[in-house]
Homo-oligomer: A and B are copies of this chain.
């Protein structure tokens, strides 16, 4: 139940570092944010019901306030779902975001893992997944999934939800990254929340808007599901600053569109250039990060070499089913991405294997 190592932990390192380990909007924070923050009245508790914030989210997602819950990042909502539904044996397609597993362990449970196969490009084999759901008390899916970058289209999500309904088990779909997708409209589960009482969709706000430091997420579900979650929720977890920013942020459609365009152009650039590097396998991705694999050597050595060049990557070896040859990089600004590519090209493979137990895959 120990806290896991996550990305974004630049504080372990000294000096200027380009952080490819955390999957944040590369365009930075919209300028108007600071005008909002300056005006916040900190002498009041946040509205315990977050009415104005929920109203803003309501406009954005097209659901009414009784369908919406807000949280201290998506993470609070993930833990809340596990607690409220007393989740002990969820099925989790993996590798996956480590907090799913941790939330279940904290709650005294033990997940069942559905193995996403490398040979299958880490895509979900729907038939197999449906079969394995029989053993589970719930289903937890990252869509798109971290760290694989793969996603399940809505039609298939619909099939999973029908199965879940038959089994009468709750489903959490973590869409923390979905807004980075070019064709997110074919993937987001939003329209399905109308029909499925036990579907909980989790979204991150501050990640997409380049401000993970602010901590804001929200969730969508049926009124009965949301009410159940509220019963277990700690009060005031979204602070007054995140509340104030959240009320305005969804209106910035220009920023949203620009981000999507920028990120998707960079995904193409990154995949193309990464695939020119012989010692790497770059897996397909639908989102603002890429899973990579060393054909030879260990990521920890690569990580240390890159750190000396001021670049931090996410060692992905602590994800289930991945080993010491996997790492993840975020899509960043073009000039930063170029620096990463350049640094990777300069690597002498011998430095990754010399005098060390050779790992050939």
**Which residues of A come within 8 Å of B, CB atoms?**
1-3, 6, 8-11, 19, 22, 24, 28-29, 33-34, 37-38, 40-49, 51, 72-73, 75-76, 79, 83, 99, 106, 206, 210-215, 230-237, 239-242
Contacts and interface: CB of A to CB of B under 8 A. Distances in A.
A35 B105 CA distance: 41
A225 B276 CA distance: 51
Contacts of A19: 44
A242 to B, nearest CB: 6
B106 A83 contact: yes
Contacts of A38: 34, 37-38
B45 A8 contact: yes
A358 to B, nearest CB: 34
B2 A231 contact: yes
B11 A49 contact: yes
Identical copies of this chain, number: 2
Contacts of A29: 42-43
Contacts of A9: 45, 47-48
Contacts of A234: 72, 75-76, 79, 99
Contact of A42 (B46, B214, B236, B237): B214
A47 to B, nearest CB: 4
A19 B99 CA distance: 39
A29 B237 CA distance: 20
A126 to B, nearest CB: 31
Nearest to A37: B37
Contacts of A83: 106
A235 B233 CA distance: 16
Contacts of A28: 43
Given A1-B231, A9-B45, 9 more contacts: A3-B230, A3-B235, A10-B44, A11-B49, A42-B213, A76-B237, A99-B234, A213-B239, A214-B239
Nearest to A243: B213
A45 B10 CA distance: 9
Contact of A33 (B6, B42, B242): B42
B8 A212 contact: no
Contacts of A44: 8, 10, 19, 22, 212-213
B75 A235 contact: yes
Nearest to A237: B72
B11 A47 contact: yes
